[in-house]
Chains A and B, each alone.
Chain A
Amino acid sequence: MTLSTTFARGRPYLVPALLLALAVGLVASQTTRPLALLDMWRPWGEVGTLAVVMTAIMLTGGIDLSVGSMIALASVTLGVVWQAGWSMPWAAAAAIGVGAAAGAINGTLVTIGIAPLVATLATLAFYAGLAMALAQGQRVAGLPADFASLGQGSWLGVPNQLLIFALVWFMGWIVVHHTRFGRYVFALGDNALAAQFAAVPVRAVQWWLYTASGTLAALVAVIYCARSGAVVPNAGAGIELQVIACVVLGGTRVTGGRGGLGRTLLGVAILSLLDIGLQFISGEIRVPWTGFAWQFSANSRLLLIGLLVIGVAVWNERAAAARLRPTAAGGQIR
C-alpha cells in the first residue's frame, strides 16, 4: 500500500480525529481531574445508546426522527401507570412495551412504503402529542428513591448510563458487523431494490430496526426518568438532533450503505467531549482587538452543535463523493 492510498483510506477519519483532539484538549484544559467529570457523561450515555440503533437505521438509508417523542411517550406511560398504583418494575416494563409498540408502528409505516423521513416526522408529532395528552401537560414528581438509583447510580465508579451504552454498543456492533442481519443492513442501504431481488428480507430488516429503535428509546426513557426523579411530558424533545449528530459526526453516510458502529463511537466521544468542555465556558468570550464580546450560553452550545453537524456532514459527503466518482467510462455517466 502506498503512502497516498494510506492517506486516502484514512481521510474519512481525519476530521473526526482532529475534532476529537480538540474536544479532549478542551476538556483537559478545563479540569485537572477528568474522572470527576464522569457524572457529566450520564446524558451522553443515553444519547449514545440511541445512536447505536440510529446508526443501523441510517446505514439502511433510513432515519428515525421520532426517538425524542418516543422517549416522551414512554416516560409518560411510566408516570401514569405508576400513579395508577403499579409497582416500579411493572411501570418500567409497561413503558418499554409502549416504546416497542411505537417503534413497531414506525416500522410498519416504513414497510408499507412511506419514506422513513416522512413516516417518523409524522410520528414525531403524533407521539409527542399523545404524551402531552396522556400526561395532561402535568409532570409527575416523587418517583421512589430506589428507582432513582438506576439513573443516578454507578458500578465500579462508572455511571450506569455508560455501562448500558457500552453493552448496547457491543451488541449492536456484533449484530451490524458480524451477523447476516448486519449484511442485509448494508445491502439494503446500498440498493434497496437489488436487495429485494437478492432475497434479502427487506421489510423484516426495516421493521426490526425501527422496533428496536422504539424499544431502546423507551429504555432510555426509563433511565432518564430515574436520573431526573420525575416524568416530564416533553422529555427527550430535540434529542434526535444529538443522536443524528453523533452518527453523522462519526462518518456514517446519511444516504446509507457506508459507515459503522466504530465510527459512531467516535462521534459520541467527540460530541460529548465538546459539549462537556463547552459547559465550562461561560460568560463573555471577547474576540481580541475587535471589542466584540459573545455571551456564551446553553443556547450558543446548541448553535455550535448545529453548525458542527452541518459542517461535518458536508465534509463526509464530499469526501465520499470524491471517492465514488465514476471510474469507468460509458454506462455510469448517463
Chain B
Amino acid sequence: MTIAGRPSPRIDAVVKVTGAARYEGDADLAGALHAALVPAAVASGRVTRIDDTAARRIAGVVAVMTHATAPRIAGATSPIMLQDPTVCFAGQPVAVVVAETVAQARLGAAAVEVTCDEAPAVTTMHGALDRAYAPASAGHVETDSRRGDPEHAPRPFEVARRYTTPTHLHHPLEPPFVLARWDGDELLVHATTQAVFSHRRRLADCFGVPADRVRVVSRLLGGGFGAKGSGLFPCMALCVMAARHAGRPVALELSRAEMFTLIGRRQETVQDLRVAATLDGALTAITHDTVAPTSMFGEYADPTATVSRVLYACPNVATSHRLVRVHAPQPNPMRAPGEGPGSFALESALDELAYDLGIDPLALRLQNRAAGDQHTGLPWSSNQLEECCRVAADAFGWHARPAQVGSLRDGRLRLGWGMAAACYPVYRMASHAQVAVDPDGGVTVRCGTQDLGTGTTTILAQLAAGALGVPLDRVAVEIGDTDLPEGPYSGGAHVSASVTPAVERAARALRDRLIERAIADPASPLFGLEPERVAIADGVMIGAGRSERVADVVARTGGLACTAHAAPESRPIASSYAHGAIFVEVGVDPELGEVRARRISAAYACGRILNPLLARSQLVGGLILGIGMALHEAATTDVRSGRIVNASLADYAIAAHADMPRFDVAFVDDDDPHLDGGVKGVGMIGTVGIAAAIANAVFHATGRRIRDLPIRPEAFID
C-alpha cells in the first residue's frame, strides 16, 4: 500500500494530546486590545441613539465604534459590518467596545445604551409561508428543476407528506476568534477561518487595499462545520474595522451565546414531498418543494431538494426551493447543507411508500437505482450505491428484519430497524501546492488550505511522501496562510479532492527534478543513468543497483521546490457523487418516549480513500451530527422578540458520549476513472440519510411516523 492510502495516525495528534497545539485564540495577545459587541435589543428597526458615556468611563475602555464612526467599507454584505443604522435581527451588533482586557470590553459593552426605533418584525417564516419567493439559486445550483411531467404522471400509489427540520447551529467547540493588526496599509489577520484566501480577497475589497497587502493566517482550527467560512466574515470585518478605528491591534472572540446569532445557522425547512410509484414499487414521479428562511439582507438557500433530482431513477421529477424573508440572522452552509435535511424528507417518504406498498425499504431503493444522472443526463463517473447497500445490509443483518412493526423487543424496549440511502456531490476546486526539500533533506508541503480537524495536514503529508518517495515522518506541512500557494477553502468536502492532484503533481515534479540533478551530477552514484531507470523510495534514490539518499543529493546540490496547480474540468463528462447506505437499530421506551440509537452499520463509496483511519473518523463524526439532527438539536426563536431562547449548550443539546450507538462503518471500493486524483471526499456524506434512517427505525419500532425533527418524548404522547 502506498503511503497515501495508509491508516497513518494524524501527524498533529501528539501536539493535540499534549496541549501543545496552539489554536489562533491561544496566541499571546499582549499589546492587543479586545473587542466586545453590543447587541441590538430589537429584531427590526433603526438605531437612533447610542450613548457611550458610561462605557467610556470604565477603566480600560479605549474606544466605542458605531455605524456613525466605523470606517467605511465597500460591499458590506451584512448589517454586522456597521455601515448604517438599520437593524435586521435581534442580537445584531450595533456597536463595538474596545478595551485593554476582555473583561473591561464586556463591562463596557454592557454599559452602552442603545435606543432604537422599533419596526414590525417578521421573526419566523411560519405564518408567512405564502410570502415565499424564488431565490437566484439553491446552493450552487438552479432553484427549480423539472423533468418529465410530474403532475400528470401515472400515480397508482402516492405518498404526499410534509416534513420539517428546525434551525441547527454549527457549534464547533472552538469559538470564532479574530486578531487584526494594521501596519499602515498592510493588514495581518489571525483568525479561525476556513477560508484564508477567500477572506483575504474579501478584506482587500472591503477595505480598498491590494490583496497582496493583506495576509490571513489560520494555522489550526478547532472545528468549523461551515461556521467559519462565509458566516465568520462579517465579524472578521468588524474586528478589522475596530483595529483601524482604534489604531492598535484588536482581538475579538465570540462568546458561546453569540455563536447562536452571529456566525450563521442551518436554515430550518418545511418540505413537501410527493412520491408516486407503481404498486410494485417503481417510482413514477417525485416532487420535492422546500421553503426556508433567509435574512432581510442576504439571500441563501440550501440545496435541500437536490437529492431528489439524482439519487433514484424516476422519469418525472420536479423540485423547488423557496425562501421567506425573516428578521433573523443570515443562514449559511452547515455540514451536509441541503442533502442533510433534504435526505431526511426523501428517505422518510420512500420508507413510508415502502411500508404502504408492503415492500422491503432496501428492495425499494435497489429497485429504483439510477443508472446515470437523470438530472444532467450525464453518466455517473462511478456509482457504488448498490454495493454500499449490500455491504451495510450484510453487516447489519438486515435480511433478518421482521416486516411487522413493533415486533422486535429487548425487555421493555421496542427495537426498530431503519435504513436510508445517501449521496453527496463531488466538488473540486482549483488548488496550488508546493513541495520542497531542504538542504538537510527534510520535505515540506505548503498549501494555503485549512485543517478543521478534517485531517488535511496529514493527507497533504501522505500525498507528498507517497508521490515523492520519502518516509512520512520526514514531511512537514504548512497550511492556513495566504503567504503560501493558494489552496481551497474548507467546505463542500472538497479539500482532499482539490489538493490531491496539485500535491501529487508537485511532488512528482520534485521527484523528477531531483532525479535529473542526480543523474547529471558526476559526484552521484547515479550519474549517467536514464531517468526512467531511477526511482525514489523511502528517501533513497535507486537505479541500476546503485543508490544514494535524497538528503545527500540535496546536501550537494541545494534545496529545491516545485509548485503545481490543478483545476477541475470546466466541462465534466460525467456526474460525480459519493454514495452511502445506512442501517440503524433504535431502542424506544414507548411509554417514556426516550429514543436511543443502538447500532449503526454504514457503508460508503467515496472514491479513493487517502487515509482510512481519518476517513472513518470523518464519517463517524458525520453520523453523530446526524444523530443530533434526529434526536436532539433545535434552536428555538422567541417569536415576539426574535431572540434565540435556548442560547447555551445546556439548552441546545449536542450529542454526548452516552448517546452513542455502536458504529460499524465500511468503505466500498470505488475506483473512479474520471476523477483526477480519484478522491470524492468524506466530510459531508456521513450526515446524509442518517436522520431518516433513525426516524424510519422509530417507525419500525413503534408504528409512529415522525416527520418533524427532532424526535422528542412528546412525539410518543398523543
- Do A and B come from the same complex? no
